[in-house]
Amino acid sequence: MKEKDGLRLRTGEESPLCPGPVNIPEPVIRAMNRNNEDYRSPAVPALTKTLLEDVKKIFKTTSGTPFLIPTTGTGAWESALTNTLSPGDRIISFLIGQFSLLWIDQQQRLNFNVDVVESDWGQGANLDILAEKLASDNSHTIKAICIVHNETATGVTNNLATVRKLLDDYRHPALLLVDGVSSICALDFRMDEWGVDVALTGSQKALSLPTGMGIVCASPKALEASKTAKSVRVFFDWNDYLKFYKMGTYWPYTPSIQLLYGLRAALDLIFEEGLENVIRRHSRLGTATRLAVEAWGLKNCTQKEEWYSDTVTAVMVPGYVDSSEIVRRAWKRFNLSLGLGLNKVAGKVFRIGHLGNVNELQLLGCLSGVEMVLRDVGYPVKLGSGVAAAAAYLLNNTPLIPSRI
């Protein structure tokens, strides 16, 4: 191992097993390896038209209207909020980890009246409190429910079907806005069936693209709300997009040509594998990772099985171990990128991402690397224990024909 000024000279490809940005498949890289094009030419609108239709499939919607915005998930959040709500509107938002916290911060800075429902980090959204608030809101002052489907910081997945049932049971007209950044195209997500009004994701997660495209999908109800919403928006204004959709040119400003071609290749790979197979693959990888954690004698940050995430596992470490050191050594010694613990769980957890362009063998390699690092920082793990537990499960649950990703 070469060293210079006390640091390793890192060679070879990095292995990102953090919860995003994730590995990019070779066909996607090749599709993006192209020069710029005139987005007003006939080719780009034709490509965009097919992308907008196919993107609806990963949201499982036939009635939703998608927007491909050159931004990140944070910009997609802002687009969802400002197009549907007015300053001062009361919204219920669930604080269960770092990313829900950041979305709440944005909501407050945009001058909404945010009714925060907080849970311990490692727990899901407290839907009992939501039921109480809906039951007492006879005058329908609540204009929206904002919820993170999969909280990446703690590996917690919320039950959106239950949220919709509560809204229906109380006949409440509030909009349902969902952050699906680390869930859509990896976990079961049903926009139409669950009555989601705005759903959003980012290109660098399950789609396995570079960062830079926020994908927002709006229901007819959300589009209707946008006609009276008084929040200031310019760059994120859906109306600008809709105008150009009608014209058949699609773009109110310059898109990333390379990302559009990358998205085309990414969707083709997903449809070739089959969206339901993609979801099942993530379920297998999530289960295998949790079995490895159990074999190591460590605990999952997620406190109940019903909240387990199939895209990221947050692993608790004993008090004498700094989880940040695990992440640092994994990167420095093995080119292995794991996720840090964030905010309240900083130094207490490290995160293994099993999201997007990753298969069974890649996961087993990651788990092997984690075991070596755990031993390196002084945790008495039995080498091979987690890998063996995961491999035994995968051997009996992986299709004979490997998934093509």
Residue numbers belonging to the annotated binding site? 351
Q: Is the pTM of this model over 0.85?
A: yes
| Burial of residue 328, with CB atoms counted within 10 A of its CB: 0-12 exposed, 13-18 middle, 19 or more buried | middle
CB 213 within 8 A of CB 202: yes
pLDDT of residue 11: 41
> Is 13 a residue whose pLDDT tops 90?
no
Residue predicted with more confidence, 244 or 3: 244
Q: Tally Cβ neighbours within 10 Å of residue 322.
A: 16
Amino acid at 223: L
| Residue 18 pLDDT class (50, 70, 90 cuts) | confident
Q: Going by C-beta distance under 8 Å and a sequence separation of 6 or more, which residues neighbour residue 334?
A: 15, 369, 372, 373
pLDDT of residue 404: 52
Q: Give the separation between CA 320 and CA 287, rounded to whole angstroms.
A: 27
Please write the tens of the pLDDT for every residue from 60-113. 999 999 999 999 999 999 999 999 999 999 999 999 999 999 999 999 999 999
Cα dihedral 306, 311, 317, 321 in deg (nearest 10)? -170
Mean of pLDDT values over 160-178: 98
Q: Give the separation between CA 371 and CA 373, rounded to whole angstroms.
A: 5
> Is 234 a residue whose pLDDT tops 70?
yes
Q: What domains appear along the chain, each with residue ranges and CATH number?
A: 12-23+274-397 (3.90.1150.10), 26-271 (3.40.640.10)
User: Residue 352: in which H helix or E strand, if any?
Assistant: strand 349-353
| Burial of residue 380, with CB atoms counted within 10 A of its CB: 0-12 exposed, 13-18 middle, 19 or more buried | exposed
Kindly report the three-state secondary structure assignment for every residue of 4-30: ECCEECCCCCCEECCCCCCCCCHHHHH
Q: How far apart are the first and last CA of the chain?
A: 32
Kindly report the three-state secondary structure assignment for every residue of 316-359: ECCCCCCHHHHHHHHHHHHCEECECCCHHHCCCEEEEECCCCCC
pLDDT of residue 401: 63
Mean of pLDDT values over 321-350: 96
Q: Give the separation between CA 245 and CA 81, rounded to whole angstroms.
A: 21
Mean of pLDDT values over 47-68: 98
CB 66 within 8 A of CB 180: no
> Is 308 a residue whose pLDDT tops 80?
yes
| Residue 9 pLDDT class (50, 70, 90 cuts) | very low
Residue predicted with more confidence, 322 or 1: 322
Q: Tally Cβ neighbours within 10 Å of residue 294.
A: 14
Residue numbers belonging to the annotated binding site for substrate? 351
Look up residue 185 and give its two tokens: 């195209």
Q: Give the separation between CA 354 and CA 373, rounded to whole angstroms.
A: 18
